[in-house]
């Protein structure tokens, strides 16, 4: 089986495994416990403490005593939590601040003694690689440059064709630079001087830039709130080069007090936002990207991803997540695969991207069966639109969510969908409706029973939507089936027709 076919192969199964990742960063110390499908693990516990280990690195070259005390307290708690949770697989990584500090090795020894944790101090190359793998885990077709801005360093990675290429780690952390007391002019000069170590950046213009790291995610959050974007999920949020330029200028024009009062900017980030914005601005001037895409996945996800078998890595993260959701929330999870096979070649959306979204929608088309019938459409829509999916952008989410909404409601109207429709073109919304009505017909015809759809055929021509059914199944064609077929045909401006075929369909 070819790799590209594995993504749509319904026979590929998922497995569960719990892993704890402790990230000893330059700004924060964090514990994330991942669970769920191996290809798309979900955080079931996530806690961080802002310790500022790298705050004094640029001036003293050392980790501050207060920061180490706070970090050790957090790490003792994390070690105890992991123990009581019964998690055996624990990954502990320390990044730039610990790696570069004069007293970094002493701090690691103290952690291992007090917390009984095995700490891996990542090299700059490792840190960059894991960050890049994290981006690829959530955006498999990423093409361009990924940048992970931490408190102590900036990792830059060239990614394309599902691979890591060039990497660089630079001492340009937002926390480190913010506490060095430089003028803006000197800061910009320092940044560009360090960029010389990543000369390969100049060859990667006019592609995408993938922004990773807490400070840059704050930029996305602020923009989402300010523009009243209908979805607050940061992962795969996309801005054009012009939009990011305007956003950076706005942040740089704000005072610290303005940031304290701004929606979407945590007070703990206010003092480093100017520096983070300047680093991004200088980087944008260097790589002149088409778009800036914000990634919710980074180093921690990359560490997990690096340990997967190649065959697992190449699985589609969206479809794995949909199958997992259907298995836990649907009545007939395997029915989605049959619906997809029934629809994939007849809907007028033959490109691979559209077929993938149809597969996702078909897989999720029964997840709201448990809700009151008056609320099933809205419940399904919200569940899908806000789900922690990877491998899909905001517009793709809208298409899948609206398709399943239409499967339950029969149209796209209602307060739940109004904001979402702003994300799509008229044609995209119509395709979502058509997909939903076709799924509605498939569920009505089959009643969720496996094997019925495979014996029938739906055909769509320029003027007619035809349901062909063998005479042995003719009794299934009742009022509701005719009604759903009429609705589907009406959405296409076509006539509806039912043909009962003697024997089996050829």
Per-residue model confidence as pLDDT tens digits over 175-206: 999 999 999 999 999 999 999 999 999 888 88
Between the alpha carbon of residue 375 and those of residues 29, 214, 364, 382, 414, the distances in Å are 41, 36, 16, 11, 11
Length of the chain as a residue count: 506
The string of DSSP codes covering 198-230 is GGGGGG-TTSEEEEESHHHHHHHHHHHHHTT-S
Q: Is the pLDDT of residue 7 over 60?
A: no
Q: What is the mean pLDDT of the chain?
A: 94
DSSP-derived pairing of the beta strands 457-460 and 464-470:
antiparallel
Q: By the 8 A CB rule, do 286 and 195 touch?
A: yes
Q: What pLDDT score does 333 carry? A: 82
Burial of 138 (0-12, 13-18, 19+ CB in 10 A): buried
pLDDT bucket at 502, cuts 50 / 70 / 90: very high
- Domains, the chain, ranges and CATH? 15-121 (3.30.420.40), 125-301 (3.30.420.150), 317-501 (1.10.3210.10)
Q: Rounded mean pLDDT of 398-403?
A: 98
pLDDT bucket at 13, cuts 50 / 70 / 90: very low
Q: What pLDDT score does 46 carry? A: 97
Q: Is the pLDDT of residue 10 over 50?
A: no
Q: Rounded mean pLDDT of 219-239?
A: 97
Higher pLDDT, 332 or 92: 92
Residues paired with residue 121 on neighbouring β-strands, in sequence order: 94
Q: Rounded mean pLDDT of 316-341?
A: 93
Query: Tokens standing for 4?
Result: 């590209």
pLDDT tens digit string along 247-306? Answer: 999 999 999 999 999 999 999 999 999 999 999 999 999 999 999 999 999 999 999 999
Of the listed ranges 247-256, 328-337, 387-396, 450-459, the least confidently predicted one is 328-337
pTM above the 0.75 mark? yes
Q: Is the pLDDT of residue 327 over 70?
A: yes
pLDDT tens digit string along 57-86? Answer: 999 999 999 999 999 999 999 999 999 999
Residue/partner pairs of 157-161 with CB below 8 Å, 24 or more apart: 157/128, 157/129, 157/131, 157/132, 158/200, 158/204, 159/132, 159/135, 159/210
Q: What pLDDT score does 15 carry? A: 35
Q: Is the pLDDT of residue 4 over 70?
A: no
Q: By the 8 A CB rule, do 106 and 119 touch?
A: no
Q: By the 8 A CB rule, do 26 and 151 touch?
A: yes
Q: What pLDDT score does 17 carry? A: 66
Query: Tokens standing for 337?
Result: 């695969």
Q: Is the pLDDT of residue 345 over 90?
A: no
Q: What pLDDT score does 232 carry? A: 96
Query: Tokens standing for 122?
Result: 């990542």
Higher pLDDT, 307 or 503: 307
- Rounded Cα distance between 244 and 266, Å, is 20
pLDDT tens digit string along 419-446? Answer: 999 999 999 999 999 999 999 999 999 9
Q: Rounded mean pLDDT of 319-336?
A: 92
**pLDDT over 90 percentage in the chain:** 90
Q: What are φ and ψ of residue 149, in 5° steps?
A: -95, 115
Strands of the sheet containing 19-24, edge to edge, are 42-50, 28-35, 19-24, 90-94, 119-121
Q: Is the pLDDT of residue 9 over 90?
A: no
């Amino acid at each position: 089986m070819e790799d590209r076919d594995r993504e749509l192969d319904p026979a590929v199964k998922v497995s569960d495994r719990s892993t704890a990742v402790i990230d000893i960063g330059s700004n924060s110390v964090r514990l994330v416990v991942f669970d769920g499908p191996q290809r798309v693990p979900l955080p079931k516990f996530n806690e961080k403490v802002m310790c500022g280990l790298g705050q004094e690195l640029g001036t003293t070259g050392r980790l501050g005593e207060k920061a180490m005390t706070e970090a050790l307290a957090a790490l003792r708690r994390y070690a105890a939590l992991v123990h009581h949770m019964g998690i055996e697989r624990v990954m502990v990584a320390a990044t730039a601040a610990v790696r570069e500090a004069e007293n970094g090795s002493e701090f690691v020894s103290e952690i291992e003694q007090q917390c009984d944790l095995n700490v891996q101090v990542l090299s700059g190359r490792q840190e960059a690689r894991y960050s890049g793998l994290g981006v690829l885990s959530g955006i498999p077709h990423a093409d361009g440059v990924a940048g992970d801005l931490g408190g102590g360093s900036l990792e830059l990675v060239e990614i394309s064709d599902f691979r890591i290429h060039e990497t660089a780690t630079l001492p340009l952390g937002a926390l480190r630079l913010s506490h060095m007391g430089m003028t803006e002019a000197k800061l910009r000069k320092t940044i560009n001087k360090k960029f010389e170590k990543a000369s390969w950046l100049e060859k990667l213009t006019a592609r995408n830039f993938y922004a990773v790291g807490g400070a840059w995610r704050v930029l996305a959050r602020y923009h989402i709130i300010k523009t009243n974007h209908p979805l607050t999920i940061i992962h795969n949020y996309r801005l054009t080069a012009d939009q990011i330029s305007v956003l950076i200028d706005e942040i740089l024009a704000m005072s610290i007090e303005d940031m304290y009062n701004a929606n979407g900017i945590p007070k703990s980030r206010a003092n480093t936002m100017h520096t983070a914005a300047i680093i991004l601005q200088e980087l944008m001037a260097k790589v002149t990207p088409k778009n800036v895409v914000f990634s919710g996945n980074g180093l921690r996800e990359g560490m997990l991803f690096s340990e997967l078998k190649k065959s697992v890595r190449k699985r589609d993260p969206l479809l794995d997540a949909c199958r997992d959701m259907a298995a836990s929330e649907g009545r007939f999870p395997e029915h989605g695969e049959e619906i997809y096979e029934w629809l994939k070649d007849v809907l007028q959306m033959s490109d691979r991207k559209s077929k993938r979204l149809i597969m996702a929608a078909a897989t999720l088309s029964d997840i709201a069966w448990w809700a009151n019938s008056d609320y099933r459409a809205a419940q399904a829509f919200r569940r899908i639109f806000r789900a922690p999916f990877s491998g899909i952008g905001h517009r793709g989410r809208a298409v899948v969510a609206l398709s399943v909404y239409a499967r339950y409601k029969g149209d796209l109207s209602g307060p739940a969908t109004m904001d979402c429709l702003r994300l799509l073109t008229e044609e995209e919304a119509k395709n979502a409706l058509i997909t939903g009505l076709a799924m509605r017909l498939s569920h009505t015809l089959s009643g969720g029973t496996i094997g019925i759809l495979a014996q029938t055929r739906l055909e769509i021509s320029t003027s007619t939507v035809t349901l062909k059914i063998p005479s042995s199944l003719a009794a299934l064609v009742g009022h509701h089936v005719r009604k759903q077929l009429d609705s589907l045909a009406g959405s296409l401006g076509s006539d509806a027709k039912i043909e009962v075929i003697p024997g089996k369909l050829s």
